[in-house]
Structure 1
């Protein structure tokens, strides 16, 4: 598996799939997840373009240093991957914590992002709407299997779970060390891009499920209102993993937006 080494000496594993004349699409996974987060929908984009994923530091085959992580640092890891591939500009689609990384990427490295899609994510900081105490308690239950089922219920509707018994790719990297999980949690919790968002110049689409309790839906209009010219699309009935359960809606929506977002770089 190809990898690159960041300026601070961490190996970042990445994966390139598909072909196409359009700029590549960088897909950024959620907190404590590796590139397999996208396995269920990645092929939806390959008729038009190639896709690039990576294992966030702390996950998959990337390095796992026991030191502070941040969404800004994760964004710099993406830049290292793009540099290694010789990609000057790409489209970026980040969901959940990957959407927070995408905010940092578009704001701090505007010359590298042609168009931006932010899915089921949040600006972070004091302006964000946090999940309820009830949701937080459900995720730290000690009864065997209870916390996992609570997370499943936040990700997918009961009907989808009944029809799709797994394996589920969005419940975390099973090989991730406990210290790296904690580092990811802190990175997500400390994210605050509120002051950066008005500086994002890339055409932006904000997507969210109307029934998302893990990252409350109210965060979507906050992002769309804060980013100049951003478009907002809410998917009725969708929970946190809207991109997988509602792929028949979400993937064409994203592709259409990227197709019309602006000129393709030479």
Structure 2
């Protein structure tokens, strides 16, 4: 992985931070990425490495990947403040922002809490929180089971149920995953309990791209349609045949869509955003 990895202490939390392409000039804003629950930096490295023209930054949540386990639980509010403080420490001002699944909720919250720091928003395989259309019980029950990270046989057996047609196996997505700590995984789960962005999304002023797979068993496509209805300046792109990890199974389409959206001229984005 061609990234600069550092350990940064922010407000008493130590986070493992990865930065790609910050060592060369770019006409593009950095892309700040929030990962899915329990997922570490390496899981998204292929995407970061492919977007060679723009700086890319992400970090492991507390207790995930290389970030130490959290002592105290956190909320979207406190993690948004932590993220802003991290950007301040690294001298990064405005960013484009992307989040997938759990990270999509975090991206929504950050954009609403700190709108001046975000230009455009990409939401992938995500929902407005507790006011969502639930996925299939067969997938959700396995999603909540931490064995999907620590038991390779369990993951291999249930990979298609969980993620659709993405590449599994030790040389695919599974091989890039580092199991989170039990406390780290639990605190990520409870951070979003009772959280919803739905009442605030009609006031979202960011140009937003919503990316959804039409075969996602965890966050069904209906949630993308709901997000599109709630966010005024948004559009939905559907990945035909895509499961929850369509960013892997539909890699080239994902990269093309990201570039097309992030590089397009501004439309009706309000200057006050």
Q: TM-score range by the shorter chain?
A: 0.7 to 0.9
Q: In the alignment, does 2:184 pair up with 1:180? A: yes
Tell me what 1:38 maps to. Answer: 44
Deviation at 1:189, TM superposition (A): 3.9
CA contact 1:28–1:94 (8 Å) conserved in 2: yes
SS at match of 2:263: helix
Deviation at 1:76, TM superposition (A): 2.4
Gaps of 5+ in 2: none
Deviation at 1:79, TM superposition (A): 1.1
**Aligned pair partner of 1:77 in 79, 82, 94:** 82
**Aligned pair partner of 1:155 in 163, 186, 190:** 163
Matches of 1:186 and 1:40 in 2, distance apart? Answer: 29
String of CA shifts for 1:165-193, please: whole Å, max 9, x gaps: 5342598532x221221111122444311
The 1:241/1:141 distance shift into structure 2, 3 A limit, reads closer
The 1:63/1:142 distance shift into structure 2, 3 A limit, reads closer
Deviation at 1:68, TM superposition (A): 1.7
String of CA shifts for 1:219-242, please: whole Å, max 9, x gaps: 101111111110110100000111
Q: Which has the higher contact order (CA 8 A, sep 6+)?
A: 1
SS at match of 2:221: coil
Gaps of 5+ in 1: none
Deviation at 1:252, TM superposition (A): 0.9
Segments ≥4 residues shifted beyond 3 Å: 137-144, 169-173
CA contact 1:70–1:190 (8 Å) conserved in 2: no
Tell me what 2:250 maps to. Answer: 246
Tell me what 1:105 maps to. Answer: 110
The 1:34/1:77 distance shift into structure 2, 3 A limit, reads farther
Tell me what 1:209 maps to. Answer: 213
Alignment RMSD (CA, Å)? 2.6
CA contact 2:16–2:60 (8 Å) conserved in 1: yes
Deviation at 1:27, TM superposition (A): 1.6
Deviation at 1:97, TM superposition (A): 0.9
Matches of 1:219 and 1:100 in 2, distance apart? Answer: 12
SS at match of 2:82: helix
CA contact 2:42–2:177 (8 Å) conserved in 1: no
String of CA shifts for 1:92-128, please: whole Å, max 9, x gaps: 1111111111001111100000110000011012x21
Deviation at 1:249, TM superposition (A): 0.4
